[in-house]
Amino acid sequence: MTNEKTPPIRRVAVVGAGITGSLLSLCLARLGFEVNLYEAYVRRAQDVGSFLNLAPNGRAVLERLGLADRILEQGVVATSIDFTNHRGRQLARNPERTTNIMRGELSGALREAATDNGVKLQTGKRLVALDDDGDGHRRIGFEDGTHAEADIVLGCDGVNSAVRRLLLPDAPRPAYTEVVGSGGRSEIGAAELPVDGRFHMVFGLRGFFGYQVVSPGVVWWFENHQETRERTFAELAEIDDARWVAGLADRHRPDPAVIRRILNASAGPVGRWPVHEVPPLDTWHRGSAAVLGDAAHAVAPHLGAGAALGMEDAYELALALHEHPRAPRAFAAFEESRRDRVAAMAKQARQTGAVMTPDRWITRVIRDLMLPMAIKQGVRKGTEAYSYRPSPWPLPVV
């Protein structure tokens, strides 16, 4: 076990080069740690065709590190988030500025920035084993039969985290949220839909639809709907894009025609996923390893909060390791600083989801009656959720 007699941490293994892992690696490298970042894929199938909405708290982390312009260069600013119901009536507007960005572009830019800061990235490295050598060090094994050693291992390997499974074998498994999400890009006549800078969200009768016209004639969209029986990622991927999109268009038949217009103009790959969340874990760390980001607390996607939460985690854990360079104290300090915030966001995401995709007609009727009030309250809470601002970075930012 690691204790106060063990030498301070020098070599760090970060597992998973998604948003959390790449940013964490970058932060740690800037603080002088020797960082190896291991990633299973060169490019993940799940990232194809989908964008995410980065909240102001995520942007604030990037700004603090002097990275916002570089990382969000490929993104599109949304000057507000506008909510309408299935009849097209405007319910509320969230005036916060957010950024929509393709998921693959965001993690790709973060990976590149990490390697520019001295992080050693290795792709094609799927972690399958994690051992403690009894002296506080960690040995990790990969599917390709290779091994590596480090003083600490940080699992940023997402909702189905192997690090979590190996480190905390009694931790609850990810739970299916009964929501299927999809997203893509459409090409539509430039005169048909103006570039208005707004992220439009429509509470449809049988699904939730969001879109932004990102440039003349180009629309990014996503859709979430309820499916009680879980279909695996592989099962969903087998469905032909055209058939999937036609199914969504049919689902949104009772809703504003613009949704079908966008879906029918789909161009390029359409991503789709069964959505899972990680139930609260008793702890996020043990000995010289810890989990963070989605690996520790994947929240339902209805708030659009997960990526920004992962960025907050990365920043806070890097600061904790800088301040307490021995694992147990750093991990404990990190976890204490994050637990309440994460729990509050998870609760809010679940509440929002229940409003978005009700499965029973009676819930839908109540939803439509309550929606304007619920949305206004949600917008207020959303603004609170965005309020995290990172403390100053301890070294000059170059």
Q: State in angstroms the smallest separation of the CB of 216 from ligand FAD.
A: 23
SS3 sequence of 16-59: CCCHHHHHHHHHHHHCCCEEEEEECCCCCHHHCCCEEEECHHHH
CB of 235 to ligand FAD, least distance (A): 16
Interface size with ligand FAD, residues (CB under 6 A): 34
Residue 207 as a binder of ligand FAD (CB under 6 A): the answer is no
Q: Where are the beta strands (DSSP E) in the chain?
A: 11-15, 34-39, 51-54, 76-78, 80-85, 90-94, 98-102, 120-123, 127-132, 138-142, 147-150, 152-155, 175-187, 198-203, 208-215, 218-226, 271-277, 285-286, 289-291
Residue placing its CB nearer to ligand FAD in the complex, 42 or 398: 42
Nearest distance in Å: CB 292, ligand FAD:
7
Out of 25, 56, 72, 157, name the contact with ligand FAD by CB under 6 A: 157
What backbone phi and psi angles, to 5 degrees, belong to 149? -125, 155
List 56, 104, 256, 301, residue binding ligand FAD (CB under 6 A): 301
Q: Are 214 and 193 in contact (CB under 8 A)?
A: no
Q: Residue 330 Cβ, how far from ligand FAD at the closest point, in Å?
A: 19
Residue type, 71: I
Residue 258 in the binding site for ligand FAD (CB under 6 A):
no
Per-position x/- string for 228-247, each x denoting binding to ligand FAD as judged by CB under 6 A, each - no binding: --------------------
Among positions 379-398, residues that touch ligand FAD (CB under 6 A) are none
Strand bridging mode 138-142 / 147-150 = antiparallel
Instruction: Map residue 280 onto helix, strand or coil.
Output: coil
Binding of ligand FAD at residue 214 (CB under 6 A)?
no
Select the residue interacting with ligand FAD from 70, 93, 97, 126 (CB under 6 A). Answer: 126
Measure the CA–CA gap between 76 and 212, rounded to whole angstroms: 9
Q: Among 50-58, 146-154, 318-326, 386-394, which window interacts with ligand FAD (CB under 6 A)?
A: 50-58
Angle made by CA atoms 19, 20, 21, in degrees to the nearest 5:
100
Determine which residue in the list 153, 305, 319, 374 makes contact with ligand FAD, applying CB under 6 A: 305
* Residue 176 makes contact with ligand FAD by CB under 6 A: no
Which one, 104 or 325, has the nearer CB to ligand FAD?
A: 104
Residues in 269-298 at the binding interface with ligand FAD, rule: CB under 6 A: 273, 275, 293-294
Is 256 a residue that touches ligand FAD (CB under 6 A)? no
Question: Of 11-19, 65-73, 245-253, 385-393, which part binds ligand FAD (CB under 6 A)?
Answer: 11-19
Please report the DSSP string for 303-352 in residue order. Answer: GS-HHHHHHHHHHHHHHHHHHS-SHHHHHHHHHHHHHHHHHHHHHHHHHH
Residues 9, 12, 14, 15: which binds ligand FAD (CB under 6 A)?
Answer: 15
CB of 146 vs ligand FAD, minimal distance in Å: 12
Q: Kindly state the tokens that stand for 172.
A: 């609850």
Rg (CA), the chain: 21
- Measured from the Cβ of residue 354, the count of other Cβ atoms closer than 10 Å reads 15
Give the three-state DSSP class for 114.
helix
* d(C-alpha 28, C-alpha 42), whole Å: 22
Cβ-based nearer residue to ligand FAD, 19 or 92: 19
The one among 75, 104, 306, 382 contacting ligand FAD by CB under 6 A:
306
Cβ proximity of 312 and 390 under 8 Å: yes
Q: Give 329 or 350: the residue with its C-beta nearer to ligand FAD.
A: 350
Cβ proximity to ligand FAD, 311 vs 326, nearer residue = 311
Strands 90-94, 218-226: pairing kind: unpaired
Residue 146, phi-psi category: left (phi > 0), alpha (psi -120 to 50), beta (remainder): beta
Nearer to ligand FAD, 180 or 326 (CB): 180
Our CA angle for 308, 213, 57, nearest 5°, is 15
Nearer to ligand FAD, 201 or 213 (CB): 201
Should residue 53 be labelled a site residue for ligand FAD when binding is judged by CB under 6 A? yes
Residues in the site for ligand FAD, rule: CB under 6 A? 15-21, 38-41, 44, 52-54, 125-127, 156-158, 162, 181, 273, 275, 293-294, 301, 304-308, 310
